[in-house]
Structure 1
Amino acid sequence: MSASSPSQAKEQDDDTKPLWTYVTKVKSVAGGGNYEIKCNICDFTFNGSYTRVRAHLLKMTGKGVRVCQKVTVAKLIDLKKIDNEATLRVESLGVDPKKRKASSVENAFNLQARETPDHEIARMFYSSGLPFHLARNPHYRKAFAYAANNQISGYQPPGYNKLRTTLLQNERRHVENLLQPIKNAWSQKGVSIVSDGWSDLQRRSLINFMVVTESGPMFLKAIDCSNEIKDKDFIAKHMREVIMEVGHSNVVRIVMDNAAVCKVAGLIIEAEFPSIYWTSCVVHTLNLALKNICATKNTEKKIMLLMKNRFKQLKKGLQEMVISDQWSSYKEDDVAKAKFVKDTLLDDKWWDKVDYILSFTSPIYDVLRRTNTEASSLHLVYEMWDSMIEKVKNVIYQYERKEESEGSTFYEIVHSILIDRWTKSSTPLHCLAHSLNPRYYSHEWLSEDCNRVPPHQDMGLTRERLKCFKRFFPDVNVRRKVNIEFANFSDGREGFDDLDSLNDRVQMDPKAWWLVHGINAPILQKIAL
C-alpha cells in the first residue's frame, strides 16, 4: 500500500490522530495497521502504528521506539497540547477511536444527523441568552454524550417543574452528602466563619457567610439586606444564627470586615461566646494601610500603585509610543497634555520615583498575596507583619541613604500607619497561633536575626497568650495543665527533647509537626490543629 492511498489519506485527516501530520508513511508492513514511518522532524525511520508515532514525538520512553531528538521543549509543549485536544475530542464523543471505522456513506449520514442536534442546541443558547462558556460545563457535555451513546428510546429532557422540584431536591441531597465528611471534621479541627458584604447584578445588598477549614471554604448562606439597617445588632443576630447552625463549640473565630460596625458586632459575639474570637480580614487591613500610605503627601495624593506597576511593565513600549511618528497626530488634539505625558514618560527621575514607590510597597503586597488564599495563615501573620515592616524600612533607608541610627520622617509616617493598623486588627488569637508555631523556637529561625527571641520570652506575646488561655480554659486546674504543656513545648523538654522533634521544628509544616510530635501535649495539640 503506498503512502498516498485513499485509506492512508483518510487516516492522515483523522482529527483524533493529529500527530500523523508530523510523519510520513513510507509503506505498509506486516501487521494490521503498521507502517514504515519516517519522522518529518528528525528523519528517523521506524516501523509501527500511531501509538509509536505518539511515543516518538512526545518523547515517551519504554514504548519500543527512540524518542525524537530534535523536538525542542517549546515544540514538545505544542505537540502535547495538540494531542490533549484530540483526546478531549474523543472523550466528548464517548467513542473509542479504534472502533470508529465506518463507510463513507455512514460517515456522511452521521455528519448530517449531527447537524440537527447541533442547530437545536445552538438555538437553545441564542433564544435563551445563555452564556457560551456553558458549553464548557462538564455536566452539559456529559449529558449529551451519555444520551448519544446509550439507546434510551423515547427519552425527553426534564421539564420546567421537574427541574425546580424533584431534581433540585435530589441534587441538594447529593451536595449535602458530599459535604458531610467536611462537616464531620468540624468538631475535630474547628472552623472559622467568614462573612463579607457585596452587591449582586441586581444591585441587591447581600451578606454571605462561609465556613473555612483546612480542607477549604464551604458556602453556608447569603442574606438579602437591601431594606435593612446594617447596624451592629443586625450583623450580630445573623452571625449568631450561623454560629448556632455550625455549633458554637466548633467555632474558633469569626472573620469580618474592618468597619467599626463589624468590630462592635464581633465584640457582641465574643461577649456571648467567650471561646470565639473576632478577627479582622488581614487582606482588608493591608489594603487600608496602603490607602493610608498613599494619602500622605510624601507619596503623592491618591497615587495609583497598581497603575504604576503596570507602567513599569510597559515602560519600553510607552517610551517608544511618545517618540513615534504617530504621536504627532495625538498632539494636535491636546498639545499641552501630550507634552506632559511625553515629558513624564521620558523623565528618568519620574521612573526612579516609580521604582522607589513599588519597592517600598512590594513587601506589603507580598504579604497581601500570601494571605489572600484559602490556605491557613493565622500562625504566620504575626511574623509576616514584623518582617514586612523591617523590609519596608530597609528600602526607605537605602533610598534615603541613611544609617540605622538616623531618623527618617517618611519611614516614621509609614511605620506609624502599619503599627496603627496592626494594633486595630490584631487579637490574642494571632499571638497564640504564633506562640504555637514550632518554627519560631528553632535555632535556625532565631539565628537569622540577632534581635529575635522565642515567643515565650516575648513580653507582649506572653501577655496575649495568657489572655487566650484564660478564655479557652476558665477552669484553673485545666489551665494549669495547659501552662505546663506549653512550658514543656517551648523549652524543649518532657517529651519534646527528642532529637527528631527539635530538628523537625524548622523542617516540617507546623500542623504536621504537631501531628507527629504533639502527643505529649494533648490539649495544646488540639488547639494547634
Structure 2
Amino acid sequence: MADGWTNQRQQPIIKFLVYCPKGTMFLKFIDTSGLRKDAETLFKIFDEVVQEVGVENIVQFITDNDASYKAAGKKLQRKYGSFFWSPYAAHCIDLMLENFCDPRHFPIINETIMKARKITKFIYNHTWVLALMRKDFTKGHDLCRPAVTRFATNFLSIQCLLLFKKELRQMFTCDKWIVSSYSKSNIGKEIAEIVLEDREFWAQCQFIVTISEPLVRVLRLVDGDEKPAMGYLYNAMEKAKENIKARLKNKVSAFMPFIRVIDARWDKQLHSPLHAAGCLLNPGIYFNPCFKSKNNVSRGFMTCVVKMEPDIDKQDEII
C-alpha cells in the first residue's frame, strides 16, 4: 500500500505498508521532495518496491486514485501480470458520496449540505452558542461527527442535525437565545429561520440520510480494523444498492441516478476480480441462499486463478 502524505517539516512523503497475515506493517518511506509526481516517476518508485518485496509475494498493489498514481499502478500491473492494482476503497466510496452532492446533477442535495454547514459553522464559531447547545440541549453531544473522509463527515453531520432537530428548535426559541445579541444579528436570524421555518431543508436532510446511510456503512467496513474487508466488500456494495432501492420504494426514477453514480465508480475504479474471489472464499456469504451473484463471483475467481497461477494443471487443481 502506497500512502502519500506530508510530514511535520512539510516534506512530501510516500510511505509503503505491507498487509499480510500478521497484520499491517511499515515497510519504508521515500522523500519525494524535488521529484515530479508524474506517472513515469511514480512507476519507477513502485517498481523498486515490488522488486524489494518480491513479485511472487504480492497479490495487490494499492495506491491513491489520482490520475498519475492510477497510470503508474496500471503500468505496474501490466509489467508483471501476476498481481492487481487497486485504488483505496475508502477514497472511491468517498468519491461516490461527493458525486451524490454534485451541484450539476443534484443541486438540491448540494444546497441542503451548504445550509447544514452554515448551521454547524455558526454554532461552532461562537463559543457562547456552542456552550448553550451542549449544556442545555444536547447533553454534551456534538453536531459535527468527524469521519474517515471529508464527504462522509458532511453526511454524518446531517444525520446529527436530524437527530437533534427537536433540541435545536428548542434552543432557537428559548429565552437565553432570544435575549442574546446573537439572535439579533443577521446571521443569527438566518440560522434560526432555517432551523425553525425551512421545512424543505429538514425534508431534504431526511432524504440525504436515506440515500447516504448504506454507503457510509460500507465506508466504515473498508476503513475499520475489525476484519479484513476483501471478503465482504463485493456483497456489501450489492447490499448497499439494494438498500437504497428499497428505501426509495423501488421507484426507478428516484433510485436510478444514485445507482448510476455507484456503478460508475465501482465498475471503472474500485471493483477487482479479487473482490469476487474474496466473496467466493467467504462461505458465510457465498453459500447464503439469499446471495444472487454466484455466476459473476465465480468468473472473478477464475480470473484471479488464471492471473496468479501460470501453471494450467495447478489452475485446474485450485478451481
Q: TM-score, normalised by structure 1?
A: 0.48
Note if contact 1:214-1:376 (Cα within 8 Å) is conserved in structure 2: no
* Structure with more relative contact order (C-alpha pairs < 8 Å, separation 6 or more): 2
Aligned-partner residue type, residue 292 of structure 2: V
Structure 2: state its 5+ residue gaps. 114-153
Note if contact 2:112-2:205 (Cα within 8 Å) is conserved in structure 1: no
User: Of 297, 301, 312, which residue of structure 2 is paired with 1:465?
Assistant: 301
Structure 1 residue 482: Cα displacement: 2.3
Q: Which residue of 2 aligns with 1:422?
A: 266
Q: Which residue of 2 aligns with 1:181?
A: none
Note if contact 1:429-1:465 (Cα within 8 Å) is conserved in structure 2: yes
**Does 1:350 find its partner at 2:157?**
no
User: Of 319, 322, 340, which residue of structure 1 is paired with 2:190?
Assistant: 340
Q: Which residue of 1 aligns with 2:160?
A: 310
User: 1:187-217: CA deviations, max 9, x gaps?
Assistant: xxxxxxx111111222221111101123221
User: Of 299, 320, 343, which residue of structure 1 is paired with 2:109?
Assistant: 299
Distance, in Å, in 1 between the alignment partners of 2:175 and 2:292 is 62
Q: Which residue of 2 aligns with 1:411?
A: 255
Structure 1: state its 5+ residue gaps. 1-193, 398-403, 484-529
Q: Summarize the alignment of residues 173-252 of structure 1 with structure 2, pairs less than 5 Å apart.
A: 194-252=1-59
Structure 1 residue 349: Cα displacement: 4.6
User: Of 281, 285, 292, which residue of structure 2 is paired with 1:453?
Assistant: 292
Note if contact 1:270-1:277 (Cα within 8 Å) is conserved in structure 2: yes
Note if contact 2:109-2:204 (Cα within 8 Å) is conserved in structure 1: no
Q: Which residue of 1 aligns with 2:210?
A: 359
**Identity of paired residues, percent?**
27
Distance, in Å, in 1 between the alignment partners of 2:29 and 2:286 is 42
Aligned-partner residue type, residue 356 of structure 1: F
Note if contact 1:205-1:225 (Cα within 8 Å) is conserved in structure 2: yes
Aligned-partner residue type, residue 363 of structure 1: P
* Cα 1:431–1:441 shift into 2, 3 Å: closer
Secondary structure of 2:59's aligned partner: strand
User: 1:17-48: CA deviations, max 9, x gaps?
Assistant: xxxxxxxxxxxxxxxxxxxxxxxxxxxxxxxx
Note if contact 2:112-2:201 (Cα within 8 Å) is conserved in structure 1: no
Secondary structure of 2:231's aligned partner: helix
Distance, in Å, in 1 between the alignment partners of 2:210 and 2:21 is 33
**Does 1:390 find its partner at 2:197?**
no
Aligned-partner residue type, residue 274 of structure 2: L
User: 1:323-361: CA deviations, max 9, x gaps?
Assistant: 123334223332xx3333222212455333322211221
Aligned-partner residue type, residue 430 of structure 1: H
Structure 1 residue 293: Cα displacement: 0.6
Distance, in Å, in 1 between the alignment partners of 2:167 and 2:293 is 50
Q: TM-score, normalised by structure 2?
A: 0.78
Distance, in Å, in 1 between the alignment partners of 2:111 and 2:44 is 40
Q: Which residue of 2 aligns with 1:153?
A: none
Note if contact 1:294-1:302 (Cα within 8 Å) is conserved in structure 2: no
Note if contact 1:204-1:226 (Cα within 8 Å) is conserved in structure 2: yes
Structure 1 residue 291: Cα displacement: 0.2
Larger radius of gyration: 1
Q: Summarize the alignment of residues 477-516 of structure 1 with structure 2, pairs less than 5 Å apart.
A: 477-483=313-319
User: Of 85, 90, 96, which residue of structure 2 is paired with 1:283?
Assistant: 90
Distance, in Å, in 1 between the alignment partners of 2:292 and 2:191 is 51
**Does 1:269 find its partner at 2:76?**
yes
